[in-house]
Structure formats: structure tokens, C-alpha cells
Structure 1
Amino acid sequence: MNITILWLLSLPTKPYRVLEYFFYTFVFLHFSLIAQTIAPLLRKSSTPRSSTLSPPFSVIVCAHNEVENLKKLMPLLLAQQYVHFEIIIVLDRCTDGSVAFMQSVNSAQVLTIEVPAVPSGFNPKKYALTQGINAARNEWLLLTDADCRPVSDQWIASFAPYTSEKTELILGISPYEDQPGLISQITAYETLQTAIHYTSAACQGRAYMGVGRNIAYRKSTFHKTGGFHPFEAVVGGDDDLLVQKITTPHNTAINFKSDSLTYSSPERKWKGYLKQKTRHLSVGKHYQPAVKTAHFIRASTHGVLWLCFLYLLFSFQYSSRIIVLFGLLILVKGVFFKKIANNLGMPFNRIWFPLMDLIYAIFLPLLGVRAMFVKNIRWKK
């Protein structure tokens, strides 16, 4: 008790000096969290558990009025250099010529499933995925989206070595293409942060999400764990909520191989970007308590750090050591994030980095709060 009282009395009395104490505290907390996150990735090897496995795969793609994307994707899927695989295209209530295009694809490897309507109580994306999974002839399922592009004809082959007897889930990485513009830079940085956090957690045996644009799991595991129940009506969650259901500390692998990447084009308009992010962030309310707590601690520490720095900076109540310390923190983060981005095959712009880190710390959490209250969120109309 006496020690606590002495400590409180020793605190500075001026408000900005108290805030400076908070600033130093949150610099330490944020740096500690960053170090804990990136350390497993710096140690992680991209060498799979086995290099001789080659089980058959069922590649599943769901599409809703995406005929132009399918025209670009199908040649890349059919060109995959792998021993045994099938391609399942699930057309969700398509009215744009997707059905006619898929009928023109002449390949015994391709199975097209048409979904004319979605039953009540089911999200369209999850219902379409379920139809594709049920129709799959192979145990291993590999999923991507119609607007994605495998970076290599070894995409399927890159997942095969990770399919050991104990493995039930393989997490892939799916960057967005590096394009000019603020929205593209925000998307690229947020995607890099997301990839860093979910792959780091998986390396530590605590996987909590993947990306539906590049993920593989066993058909038997999907059915054994009840598929998308009880969140079949939730918009989104076909990747992160499913991962939280089926992952264990020992059944999940991460595919870091450069041939495994799938790229997507970022949204180019603010309306589309906000709609996409709201849909993604709205799923967070359904996360497991431990995952939500970890997200809250990381986001609040990051956000408070930036707010303290900006307040001290623009109120001119600061010392040079504050700017030096914060600048050093940003520099160190930038160096390590650049290294990890290179290892993951993801874009990273050093010039944009400080601004992107500020936006990620303050703007995206505000979008997350907004997503908690927005109703009528849809996958696609």
C-alpha cells in the first residue's frame, strides 16, 4: 500500500506530463505485442512437413454473376500442373451468362453446379459452398474465389506436401494486387497486418482465421464438425469462424510457399471498400471470447499509442525524445514488416507506411465499431 501511494505521488501533476507517461507505457506495450507477433514468423521455415504427398484435390469456387472473372480464372485452374484434381464451380443464382460460359468449358475435370435459389436461414455463400463440398469426390478441398488468380501453375501442388495424416486444415495467403491509389494502399497494408497476425497465431498453435480466397481442409473434417452450423445464416465467416471450429494446436499447417499465393484486385471506390470492410469486420462479433479479447488488446494499444502521440505533437506539449522514440518505433516496425512482407509475397510501400499505420490504428477500428451496428449486410445481391 505504501509503495503504491508513493508511486502515485511521484507521478507528474501536469496533464500533458501524465499523458507522456501513458505514451511511454503504450510504446512499450505495442512494441512487446509486435515482437511477440513477428518472432514466430521470423523463425518459421517454409519447408513443409513432407515433400512426397500428392492426394487428389477438389478445387471449389463459388460465383454470383462473375462471368468475366470466370473467363480469366478457368484457364489458370485448368493449367495447374498436378496429378489428380477436379474443379467444382458453384453458380449462385447467376443471370449474367455464367451458366452458358461454363457449359462451353469442355473438360472432364470440371463439374458445374447451379444453385437457382437459397433456402431460408442460409447465407448464399455458405449454401453454395456446402453444395460444392457435398459434391466433391476427393477428401481434400481447396477453395478460392472467382475474382482470384493463382500466381503459379503449381498452386495446387504447393498444398500437397502439407497434407500429412494429422493435418486437417491448411492456411494459405492471398494478397491484393499492388495498385496506385489510397484505397489500394490501405487494403494492401490491412491485408498484410491480417496475414501477419493469423499466420503468427497459427504458428503458435492458436489459429483463429484463414482467408476463403486460399484455404484447404478435409471434407470429412467439415462434416464431422457440423459444417457451417451454427453460423450458416451469418454473412461471412466461411473462413474465420470455420477455422475457429475445426482448428487444434496440432492439426493446422500454413502454406508459406511462393507458388501458393492467390491475388485479388482491391476495391477502387470508397463505397465498395466500405461495404467490403463492413462485411468482413461484422463477423468479429461472433468470434470466440479469447480471440476477441486478443484483438481488443492489440487494437486498443495501437490506437491509444497513436492518439497520445498526435495529441502531444499538435498540442506542442512534448519533448524531442517523444518524436525520436516514436520515429524509432515506426522505423523498426517498417524494417521488420518489409522483411515479412517479402517472405509472404505481399506488397509493402515504405513511403506510405507511417500513414497506413495511422489509418490502421484509428480508422479501421472505427469501421469495426460501425460494423457492429449495421444490419442487412450481404455477400452479394
Structure 2
Amino acid sequence: MNTPELLFSVFIGIAAVQLLYWLLIFPRFSFKKPHETQRADLLPPVSVIVVGRNEAENFKKYLPTILHQDYPNFEVIAVNDMSSDDSIDVLEEMQKEHDHLRIVRVPENDHFWHGKKYGLALGIKAAQNEHLLLTDADCYPSSPDWIREMISGFMGGKEIVLGYGDVIKTKGVVNALSRFETVQTALQYFAWNFWGMPYMGVGRNLAYRKSLWFEQNGFIKHIHVPSGDDDLFVNSAAKRGKVGVVAKDTAHTLTESKETWKEWITQKRRHFSTSTLYKPHHKFVLATFAASIFWFWFFFAMALPFVDEFHMYIMLGVVGLRTIAQWVVGFTTSRFLGNADLVLLWPVYEMIWVLTGGYLLILNKVLGTSKKWK
């Protein structure tokens, strides 16, 4: 086999991996029918838990959108995690008007746990209900039906419900990349759940049973990691067939994106630090997808100048088929996740996403990761 034939063969092999994802794996989610909303008389009591450190302004802006949800029976547990601002004053003032708001304080002397997990653990232990719904202090629900929609995901004996945490659309490249990364990540963990391989969720919009948390001994399996209260918990606790997905636009949470490259890179470094602790087969599947994107374009560029006309048309056809598949999956996925404006430039965004991911993995390896939460 000469060099052009070898390059062409390698390209086709990698293209087959990519087409497997875009023609088989991802459509399992993108063509899915929306879940049904549970009847009001069957909705269980819910504890919504929000943990914040120095989040006074966000508590003022966003907590009322949770307190005013259209749901028959729920409590909101706001965990003030050793804040040095006036968070506790804001929460206590709100509590006067909302008797279903409960405040949990993390004592100042409890420094032996770094990260969000200790505050979240105190909130979970204080919860009065079996069904827990988690979000962050800098997030707000997309509709008054957020709790109702997310809790409907427990139908059929589910133990965990994966939701979608969207990013508010603004101007700029950082915002576009942040939204793309959010959509791409959600597309993967939603789709793989339908293939029987739940591997992560996001703490901005995640629900699970309190009894499951205790069965897992809380966060003890990854207590040494500052982050991972969401994805590492799901990665270790999720069972095949026991994880529901709720992606309707009325069940999203929304947050602002980082404004600068430095802030975005810092956030992504923290996220990447937990993915190295996933189960081996999860890491293999995720790494294969990301790496195959890079090598797909690498071998396309390497082989195209050397192959004959017949093989060139095959290569261009494969690229065209993959691009069309991305557009179809992207636009069908936007029924649930929005951000349709990103779809046409999907191949460009994905290459930036892959290159950035490789850079962050190397950076984390060399510099290590932060041991603090905020």
C-alpha cells in the first residue's frame, strides 16, 4: 500500500467513527419525542436546593423565580456557604415573605471540606422530601413550570433526572463558544443515556432521589475533588434504565456566560479536571469522539493533495455527508436545546472546541487544578 492509499484508508476509518456518532448515536436523542408532563395529583413533594457563596446579588435576582414556581408542594433550601457579603441578610429578608424558603448556614469553622460539596451535603440532609432538584445561585428557570417538568422525569421509577443548563445568548465569540460547548456536551450525555450509558449531568439542572444520595454515601467516592458534585455523582450512581431526561424548553435553567477568554478557560479547566475521573469506558467513548474530530480533518488535509480524482470525490462526499448529518442533528436538537444560530458553523466551533480541550488537558496536567471553590 503506497502513501496516498494509506492516508485515504486511515481517513475513511476515522470518518466511519464520526459517522457512527452523527448518523446513529446522536439522532437517538435529537429525534426523540418530548417527555410527558406528570399530572398534578401525582406530583410528589420536592426540595429545591441552591448553594451559594457570596451570591447576594444573584439571590436577589434569581431566587424569586424559583420561589414563585407553579408547583403544588415544594420547599426551597438556600445554602449560604460561608459568604462574606450580605447573602444571609438577603435570604432572611426573603424568608419573611416566603414560608417555603429555608436557610442552611455553613459554619465559618468548617474548612476541612473544600468545594461546593459540603454545603450541598448539608442542604440535602436538611431536605424534608425524597425528590431533590438542584441548581446554582447564578441560574434561573426558563419558565414557572420548571419544577413540574423536571420532576415529571421521575416517571417510570427513575432515580436521576438529567436537565439542561443553557447559556444566555449575547454578543461575542466567547459567548458563542460557551453556548456551543454547552449544547455539544448536552447532546452527548443525553444521547448516551438513551443508549443505556448515563455518565454525567450538570448541577445547574439536576434531580435525584435523596435515598440514592445516601445509598452512595453522599459524595464520599470523590470527596477529594473540589468539583464534581454533579457529573462525578451521576457517573458513579447512575444505573442503566434508571435515568430520565427532560430537555423541553420550559424545563431549562439559564445562566450568563463568561465574558473573557481567561474566565472561560478557567471555568473549562475546572470542568475538565473531573472528566479524568469518569469510568474507563466512559472516558474511552468521549475521548474517541473528540480525538476523531481532530484526526478526521488532519487526515483529510494530508490525503486530499495526493489521492487521485476518484478518491478525492469520495473524500469530499464523506465530508459533505458528515456536515449534512451535523446540520440535521443540530437543527433537530435545537427543538429542545435552542441555539439554532450555531448550527451552520458547527464544524468551525467543534474544531475550536477540540483544540481548546486538548490544550486544557495539557494545561491541567502541567499546572494542576484549583483546590478551591470560588
Who is 1:79 aligned against? 68
Aligned match of 2:237 = 246
Q: Residue 230 of structure 1: SS of its match in structure 2?
A: helix
1:72-111 aligned within 5 A: 72-105=61-94, 106=96, 107-111=98-102
Q: Is the 8 A contact 1:279 1:378 kept in 2?
A: no
Stretches of structure 1 that go unaligned for 5 or more consecutive residues are 1-10
Aligned residues: 367
Note if contact 2:196-2:241 (Cα within 8 Å) is conserved in structure 1: yes
Per-residue CA distance 1:224-275 (angstroms, 9 max, x = gap): 1111012112022111111122211122111122211001111111111111
What residue is the counterpart of 1:305 in the other structure?
Answer: 296
SS, match of residue 174 in structure 2: helix
Query: By how many angstroms is 1:147 displaced?
Result: 0.9
Evaluate the alpha carbon distance shift between residue 376 and residue 296 of structure 1 in structure 2; reply closer, same or farther with a 3 A threshold. closer
User: How high is the TM-score relative to the length of structure 2?
Assistant: 0.91
How far the C-alpha of 1:55 sits from its partner, in A, is 0.6
- Which has the larger displacement, 161-170 or 112-121? 112-121
SS in 2 for 1:164: coil
- For the pair 1:61 / 2:46, whether they are aligned, the reply is no
Which whole-Å deviations, capped at 9, do the CAs of 1:168-211 have from their partners, x for residues lacking one?
11111111112221111111111111111101111122111011
- Decide whether the 8 Å contact of 1:82 with 1:154 is kept in 2: yes
- Give the counterpart letter for 1:207 in structure 2: P
Are positions 1:356 and 2:349 aligned together? yes
Give the 3-state SS of the residue equivalent to 2:373 in structure 1. Answer: coil
Q: Deviations over 1:73-110 (max 9, x none)?
A: 12201210110111111111111211111121121111
1:341 aligned to 2:329? Answer: no
Q: Give ranges in structure 2 of 5+ residues lacking alignment.
A: none
The separation in 2 between residues aligned to 1:223 and 1:158, in whole angstroms, is 25
Rounded Cα–Cα distance in structure 1 between residues aligned with 2:258 and 2:344:
21
Give the whole-Å Cα distance in 1 for the aligned partners of 2:365 and 2:240: 30
Cα offset, 1:373, TM superposition:
3.9
Q: Normalising to structure 1: TM-score of the pair?
A: 0.90
Match of 1:223 in 2: 214
Q: Does 1:38 align with 2:19?
A: no
- Contact kept, 8 Å, 2:269 with 2:369, in 1: the verdict is no
Q: What SS does the aligned partner of 2:167 have?
A: coil
In the TM superposition, residue 53 of structure 1 has moved relative to its aligned partner by: 2.3
Q: 1:143 aligns with which of 134, 150, 154?
A: 134
The Cα of 1:125 is off from its aligned counterpart by 0.1
1: distance between equivalents of 2:156 and 2:322? 43
Aligned equivalents of 1:368 and 1:342: distance in 2? 32
Q: CA, structure 1 residues 121+348, in 2 after alignment: closer, same or farther (shift >3 Å)?
A: farther
Distance 2:208 2:52 in 1: 20
Corresponding letter in the other structure for 1:27? A
Q: Single out whichever of 139-148 and 49-58 deviates more from structure 2.
A: 49-58
Give 1:241's aligned amino acid.
L
Structure-to-structure mapping, 1:1-381, within 5 angstroms: 11=1, 13-14=2-3, 16-48=4-36, 50-51=38-39, 53-105=42-94, 106=96, 107-117=98-108, 119=110, 121-164=112-155, 166-312=157-303, 316-317=305-306, 320-321=312-313, 322-381=315-374
Alpha-carbon distance change, 336 to 240 in structure 1, aligned in 2, over 3 angstroms: same
How far the C-alpha of 1:376 sits from its partner, in A, is: 4.3
CA distance in 2, matches of 1:192, 1:263: 13
Instruction: For 2:50, give the aligned amino acid.
Output: V
Residue identity (%): 29
Instruction: For 2:64, give the aligned amino acid.
Output: P
Native 8 Å contact 2:146 2:252 kept in 1: yes
After the TM superposition, which of the residue ranges 252-261 and 338-347 deviates more from structure 2? Answer: 338-347
SS at match of 1:256: coil
Q: Which amino acid aligns with 1:226?
A: N
